[in-house]
Chains A and B, each alone.
Chain A
Amino acid sequence: MFAIARKEAIQLVRDSRSMILAFLLPMLLILVFGFAITLDVRNIRLAVLDESMTPESRHLVDAFEESGYFSVERYLDRHGEADELLVGGRVTAVLVIPPAFAADLAAEGTARVQLLLDGSDANTATIALNYADAISHDFSSDVLPDWRTARRSISPELRVWYNETLESRNMIVPGLIAVLMSIIAAMLTSLTIAREWERGTMEQLAATPVHRVEVIVGKLMPYVGIGLVDVALATLVGVFLFDVPLRGSVSLLFAMTFLFLLGALGFGIFLSAVLKSQVLAIQASIMVTYLPAMLLSGFIYAIANMPPFLQVVSYAIPARYFITITRGIFLKGVGIETLWGSALGLAVYAVIGLGLALHAFRKELA
Chain B
Amino acid sequence: MTSAAVSVRGLTRRFGEVVAVEGLSFEVKTGELFGIVGPDGAGKTTTLRMLAGVMRPSGGDALIRGRSVVSEPEAVKPHIAYMSQRFGLYEDLTVGENIAFYAELYEVPRSVLPGRLERLYEFSQLAPFEGRLAGDLSGGMKQKLGLCCALVHEPDVLLLDEPTFGVDPISRRDLWLIVHDMVARGTTVIVSTAYMEEAERCDRVALMNRGRLVGLDHPRRLHEGLGGEVISVRVSEPRRAVEWLAGVPHVRSAALLGDSMRIMLGDGEEAWSSVRTSLEEQGIAVLEAAPARPSLEDVFVELVERERSGKNPERSGND
Task: Check if B90 sits within 8 Å of A11, measured CB to CB.
Answer: yes
The reply on A15 being an interface residue by CB < 8 A is: yes
A363-B90 in contact given A10-B97, A204-B82, A208-B105 (Cβ < 8 Å):
no
Task: Check if A200 sits within 8 Å of B105, measured CB to CB.
Answer: no
A14 contacts across to B, CB distance below 8 A = 92
Task: Check if B53 sits within 8 Å of A7, measured CB to CB.
Answer: no
The reply on B91 being an interface residue by CB < 8 A is: yes
Interface string of B64-82 (1 = CB under 8 A from A): 0000000000100110111
Of all chain A residues, the one with the shortest Cβ separation from B51 is A207
The reply on A203 being an interface residue by CB < 8 A is: yes
Task: Check if A7 sits within 8 Å of B97, measured CB to CB.
Answer: yes
Q: How many angstroms between the C-alpha atoms of A207 and B107 in the bound complex? A: 14
Q: How many angstroms between the C-alpha atoms of A17 and B81 in the bound complex? A: 33
Task: Check if A207 sits within 8 Å of B92, measured CB to CB.
Answer: no
The reply on B127 being an interface residue by CB < 8 A is: no
Residues of chain A from 165 to 206 with CB closer than 8 A to chain B in the complex: 196, 199-206
Q: Which of under 10, 10 to 19, 20 to 34, or 35 or more describes the interface residues of B?
A: 20 to 34
Task: Check if A15 sits within 8 Å of B77, measured CB to CB.
Answer: no
Task: Name the contact of A199 in the complex, choosing from B74, B91, B149 (C-beta under 8 A).
Answer: B91
Task: Name the contact of B84 in the complex, choosing from A4, A200, A209, A364 (C-beta under 8 A).
Answer: A200
The reply on B56 being an interface residue by CB < 8 A is: yes
Q: How many angstroms between the C-alpha atoms of A124 and B238 in the bound complex? A: 90
With both chains docked as a complex, state the minimum distance between the C-beta of B92 and any C-beta of chain A, in angstroms: 5
With both chains docked as a complex, state the minimum distance between the C-beta of B143 and any C-beta of chain A, in angstroms: 13
With both chains docked as a complex, state the minimum distance between the C-beta of B28 and any C-beta of chain A, in angstroms: 18
Task: Check if A208 sits within 8 Å of B86, measured CB to CB.
Answer: no
Q: How many angstroms between the C-alpha atoms of A363 and B55 in the bound complex? A: 9
Interface string of A123-143 (1 = CB under 8 A from B): 000000000000000000000
Q: How many angstroms between the C-alpha atoms of A203 and B159 in the bound complex? A: 13
Of all chain A residues, the one with the shortest Cβ separation from B90 is A201
The reply on B89 being an interface residue by CB < 8 A is: yes
Of all chain A residues, the one with the shortest Cβ separation from B159 is A207
Of all chain B residues, the one with the shortest Cβ separation from A201 is B88
Q: How many angstroms between the C-alpha atoms of A205 and B89 in the bound complex? A: 10
Interface string of A211-249 (1 = CB under 8 A from B): 100000000000000000000000000000000000000
With both chains docked as a complex, state the minimum distance between the C-beta of B25 and any C-beta of chain A, in angstroms: 22
Task: Check if A207 sits within 8 Å of B74, measured CB to CB.
Answer: no
The reply on A310 being an interface residue by CB < 8 A is: no
Task: Name the contact of A207 in the complex, choosing from B52, B90, B101, B104 (C-beta under 8 A).
Answer: B52
A208-B93 in contact given A364-B54, A365-B54 (Cβ < 8 Å):
no
Q: Which of A205, A207, A364 has the most C-beta atoms of chain B within 10 angstroms of its own C-beta?
A: A207
Task: Check if B88 sits within 8 Å of A199, measured CB to CB.
Answer: yes
Task: Name the contact of B86 in the complex, choosing from A196, A200, A202, A206 (C-beta under 8 A).
Answer: A200
Of all chain A residues, the one with the shortest Cβ separation from B91 is A199
The reply on A3 being an interface residue by CB < 8 A is: yes
Q: How many angstroms between the C-alpha atoms of A4 and B107 in the bound complex? A: 12
Q: How many angstroms between the C-alpha atoms of A204 and B161 in the bound complex? A: 12
The reply on B87 being an interface residue by CB < 8 A is: yes
Task: Check if A3 sits within 8 Å of B55, measured CB to CB.
Answer: no
Of all chain A residues, the one with the shortest Cβ separation from B55 is A365
The reply on A210 being an interface residue by CB < 8 A is: yes
Task: Check if B88 sits within 8 Å of A209, measured CB to CB.
Answer: no
Q: How many angstroms between the C-alpha atoms of A364 and B70 in the bound complex? A: 12
Task: Check if B92 sits within 8 Å of A11, measured CB to CB.
Answer: yes
The reply on B26 being an interface residue by CB < 8 A is: no
A202 contacts across to B, CB distance below 8 A = 88
Of all chain A residues, the one with the shortest Cβ separation from B52 is A207
Q: How many angstroms between the C-alpha atoms of A211 and B73 in the bound complex? A: 11
Q: How many angstroms between the C-alpha atoms of A211 and B77 in the bound complex? A: 11
The reply on B223 being an interface residue by CB < 8 A is: no
The reply on B129 being an interface residue by CB < 8 A is: no
Task: Check if A209 sits within 8 Å of B78, measured CB to CB.
Answer: yes
B78 contacts across to A, CB distance below 8 A = 209
The reply on B165 being an interface residue by CB < 8 A is: no
The reply on B123 being an interface residue by CB < 8 A is: no
A209-B89 in contact given A10-B97, A365-B55 (Cβ < 8 Å):
no
Q: How many angstroms between the C-alpha atoms of A211 and B49 in the bound complex? A: 18
Task: Check if B55 sits within 8 Å of A364, measured CB to CB.
Answer: yes
The reply on B121 being an interface residue by CB < 8 A is: no
Task: Check if A209 sits within 8 Å of B55, measured CB to CB.
Answer: no
With both chains docked as a complex, state the minimum distance between the C-beta of A111 and any C-beta of chain B, in angstroms: 75
Of all chain B residues, the one with the shortest Cβ separation from A211 is B74
B91 contacts across to A, CB distance below 8 A = 199
List 5 A-B pairs, minimum CB-CB distance, nearest first: A201-B88, A3-B104, A200-B88, A207-B82, A204-B88
B residues whose Cβ falls under 8 Å from a Cβ of A: 49, 52-56, 74, 77-78, 80-84, 86-93, 97, 101-102, 104-107, 149
Pick 23 A–B contacts, CB within 8 A, sort by A.
Answer: A7-B97, A10-B92, A10-B93, A11-B90, A15-B92, A199-B88, A200-B86, A200-B88, A201-B88, A203-B49, A204-B84, A206-B53, A206-B54, A207-B52, A207-B53, A208-B77, A208-B105, A209-B74, A209-B106, A210-B105, A211-B74, A363-B54, A364-B54
- 7 more A-B residue pairs beyond the given contacts A201-B90, A207-B84, with a C-beta to C-beta distance below 8 A: A3-B105, A7-B90, A7-B97, A203-B49, A204-B87, A207-B77, A364-B55
